[in-house]
Amino acid sequence: MLTVVLLLLSGCGAVKSAPYEVRSRPYGSCVTAAPRNSDVTVGTLIVGPGDPTDESVRASWGRALRTQDAQPFTVEVFEDGETRAYEAERGRNARVTATFEEKRSCEERSRALAADWRVEQRALRPQQEAQALQAVRQSALAQHTSDWSTARIETAFIEREDGPEIFARRAIAGPDAPVVIVVNDGPGKSHDHFQVQEVLADSGWTVVLYDQRGVGLSAGPTDDDYSLHAQAVDLDAVRQWSGAQQVAVLGYDWGGPVAFDYAARYPDNVLGVLVVGSQAIRHQQWGRQDPALVYTHTTTQIARMRRRMAPSCQPWVREVGHEYANITKFRPHHMAGTCHSDVLALVTEDLEGFDLRPAMQALTVPVLVWYGDGDASRVHRSFIVDALPQAQVVEHLEPACGHRPVFQCPDRLYDVLIPFMDSVTE
């Protein structure tokens, strides 16, 4: 696009009215009124200085052209596909000097330029997204302190030949501290809202969190494999990065089935399994809930909650709202920073027909099964316990707590988790 710098010089003395009127368009601004005998006539398309797609920039042109200030003002114009230099004076009364067709022509040029600009932006989008992702990656790697613990934070992108790159972080309790890997809820949610679990580092545990494949800062698989087997392979890569031969695995919601599947596939690497508000362990019961504990709220309450969530997570607002008896207690950090509906769909597809019960029959490690009595997912509790005939199972049903105990009753949750975790190291 060609532009020209146009210098508008004001005449001397006071004037009775502003000399120009402009109308903001999708790309630039059209002059709709101009002084008689001015070279800047109705129909001139102003496209600078600044970003012609920015409404605040376009508004500044209008203010400058309407001012009675005698100081010069520089603008850029685009007319008839070529550059033209005009000299105009502010300080004359504005009068319409062109027909409606000329004004419409300016608007049509603006729309055409706006369409060209959108094409250019779409072409630049992959590069812009790559640059934005790189900035986020650098920021993630640079974080060395936790908002929830005094522990030092280390982060890494785990590269592998047999799977996608996985982002992980750990809050280090000490060089010989036992390790717990947290598998957050989902599928399709980034781990960041579970960084609150780093408080466990102050109780002597190195806490490891990670973004599951295709979620948050972790890459997606080239073959769209989101099966439980693939999730287990990723989790073991995180374990290897942690440096621990054996770890405790703490799974929330969807993280429950992932934890059980991992323990069945890698029993020698597991100190114990802890599941909190676990989802179903077989496909036939996936998504099943106690309808009496699915809480409903008004449209206004849901709308207020939606505004406090990241844009990519807003489509899930009603699902999250169902988990709060008192929706006013929801806070932005209770929800993931990014949500991936496409990953949710792919995981759901890969879970078709799954059944963990046969594999869980052989588990002998200690297992904690924790639910709040206000959690609609507690319908899975008895099925999970029945599938663990050889494991050392501890059951816990917490009064007056729901599906999100890390936010709804954290102290009471940790009063159970920490002693159990300590017991598996003895």
Query: What whole-number distance in Å separates Cα of residue 270 and Cα of residue 248?
Result: 6
Mean pLDDT in residue range 148-168: 92
pLDDT at 339 over 80: yes
The residue with tokens 């982002």 is 167
Mean pLDDT in residue range 161-177: 94
Query: What whole-number distance in Å separates Cα of residue 347 and Cα of residue 358?
Result: 21
Pairing relationship of beta strands 166-172 and 152-158 according to DSSP bridges:
antiparallel
Percent of the chain with pLDDT over 90: 60
State the Cα torsion 183-185-191-196 to the nearest 10°.
-90
How many residues in total does the chain contain? 426
What phi and psi, each to the nearest 5 degrees, are found at residue 11?
Answer: -80, 170
Pairing relationship of beta strands 392-398 and 366-372 according to DSSP bridges:
parallel
Residue 69's pLDDT is what?
61
Mean pLDDT in residue range 47-61: 84
Residue 12's pLDDT is what?
41
The 10s digit of each residue's pLDDT in 318-338 is 889 999 988 899 999 999 989
Half-sphere exposure of 215 (CA within 13 A, CB side): 31
Query: What whole-number distance in Å separates Cα of residue 96 and Cα of residue 33?
Result: 5
Strand partners, 21: 33
Mean pLDDT in residue range 126-139: 68
> Does the N-terminal peptide bond of residue 175 adopt cis geometry, omega within 30 degrees of 0?
no
Mean pLDDT in residue range 229-257: 97
Residue 241's pLDDT is what?
97
The residues of the chain that CATH labels 3.40.50.1820 are 143-424
Query: What whole-number distance in Å separates Cα of residue 371 and Cα of residue 55?
Result: 51
The 10s digit of each residue's pLDDT in 181-215 is 999 999 999 999 999 999 999 999 999 999 999 99
The 10s digit of each residue's pLDDT in 255-307 is 999 999 999 999 999 999 999 999 999 999 998 999 999 998 999 999 999 99
pLDDT at 169 over 90: yes
Which CATH number applies to 143-424?
A: 3.40.50.1820
Lowest-pLDDT range, 126-135, 249-258, 317-326, 334-343?
126-135
What phi and psi, each to the nearest 5 degrees, are found at residue 176?
Answer: -115, 15
Quote the radius of gyration of the chain (alpha carbons, Å): 30
Residue 5's pLDDT is what?
39
Longest dimension (CA), the chain: 97
Mean pLDDT in residue range 227-241: 97
Mean pLDDT in residue range 71-97: 60
Query: What whole-number distance in Å separates Cα of residue 343 and Cα of residue 214?
Result: 7
